[in-house]
Homo-oligomer: A and B are copies of this chain.
């Protein structure tokens, strides 16, 4: 959607790294400018405000995510395959951009900034909605168990996914997220088919 200039992308990248290194509170214009090697005021030539920079991080992440989810949805794979693809994709993206996890899982810090909170919420929901839809389809064609509602199944699935990522982050990205993700999917799969 939004196009970012090279400088803007550089700023977004540096911000994301700062988030990863020091948390959201670590993202200050001063640190940012020092990291990039330009003056503080120079940053304001590229973004109107700090909020816009943060929004930029999310926007870029979101559009990448959407693209992938769309592709999965249109892939013609079976429901279980689609769920597996979603799982793998999420863990792939996080492995590639570990810093982003700090942003995505920080509903709290954004609490006071309505715009940011909304965006984070939207990102969070996008997987959830897709998973819900896929599960419902799977239940219709009997490939997924129906004794537990789709709502509850997706709550369980997304909850596990999120907790795994949260642990990975808190561990300092110490384990192989993709391998653990595969393992988790195996078990989720088993639960889904009963």
On A, residues with C-beta under 8 Å from B are 22-26, 102, 105-109, 111-112, 117, 121, 124, 147-149, 152-153, 155-156, 158-164, 166, 170, 183-184, 187-188, 190-191, 194
A187 CA to B194 CA, complexed, in Å: 12
Q: Contact: A148 with B112, CB < 8 Å?
A: no
Q: Identify 9 residue pairs between A and B in the complex whose beta-carbon atoms are under 8 Å apart, listed by A's number.
A: A22-B112, A23-B108, A102-B108, A152-B187, A155-B163, A155-B184, A158-B163, A159-B160, A159-B164
A38 CA to B19 CA, complexed, in Å: 33
A149 CA to B191 CA, complexed, in Å: 12
Q: Which 5 A-B pairs have the closest CB atoms?
A: A159-B159, A159-B163, A159-B160, A106-B108, A23-B111
By beta carbon, the residue of chain B nearest A118 is B170
A107 CA to B106 CA, complexed, in Å: 8
Task: Tell me, rounded to whole Å, the shortest Cβ–Cβ distance linking A170 to chain B.
Answer: 6
By beta carbon, the residue of chain B nearest A161 is B159
A152 CA to B105 CA, complexed, in Å: 21
